């Protein structure tokens, strides 16, 4: 099966703080055709997102396929508040990396 990396299909893949206790992720596409293909493939379902991040499903607080913006958005609960001792990413901006190499079937 031929695949393409998500990073080659998406216009934007990012993560950032959503308050002190959550991190939100945005995966945004340029056109509807690509967005629909990724959505239909299931590589970014609730279950797959948890598997990619190695999280239990209870930490995924929101998951939205937002058709008007060709975007898939989801939010996770942090283990510890942003900026607290032991927090490895105060801004939550480095958490998106596992999604760059996700393979999407053509």
Q: What is the pLDDT of residues 19-67, one digit of tens each?
A: 999 999 999 999 999 999 999 999 999 999 999 999 999 999 999 999 9
10 Å Cβ neighbour count for 10? 24
Q: Where are the domains of the chain?
A: 3-80
* H/E run at residue 50: helix 46-53
Q: What is the pLDDT of residues 59-104, one digit of tens each?
A: 999 999 999 999 999 999 999 999 999 998 999 999 999 999 999 9
Residue 54: predicted pLDDT: 97
**pTM of the entire predicted model:** 0.94
Q: Comparing C-alpha atoms, which of 65, 69, 63, 81 is closest to residue 17?
A: 81
Going by the DSSP 8-state scheme, the letter that residue 41 receives in this structure is H
Q: Comparing C-alpha atoms, which of 72, 79, 77, 59 is closest to residue 104?
A: 72
- In the structure, how many helices (H) and strands (E) does the chain have? 3, 6
Residue 97: predicted pLDDT: 97
Q: Tell me, which fold does domain 3-80 have in CATH?
A: Alpha-Beta Plaits (3.30.70)
Residue 64: predicted pLDDT: 98
Residue 1: predicted pLDDT: 81
Nearest-angstrom CA–CA distance, 13 and 72? 10
């Amino acid at each position: 099966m031929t695949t393409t990396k998500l990073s080659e299909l998406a216009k934007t893949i990012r993560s950032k703080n959503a308050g002190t206790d959550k991190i939100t992720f945005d995966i945004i596409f340029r056109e509807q055709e690509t967005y629909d293909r990724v959505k239909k493939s299931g590589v970014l379902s609730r279950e797959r997102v948890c598997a990619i991040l190695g999280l239990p499903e209870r930490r995924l607080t929101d998951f939205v396929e937002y058709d008007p913006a060709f975007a898939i958005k989801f939010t996770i609960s942090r283990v510890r508040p942003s900026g607290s001792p032991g927090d490895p990413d105060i801004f939550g901006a480095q958490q998106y990396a596992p999604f760059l190499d996700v393979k999407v079937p053509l």
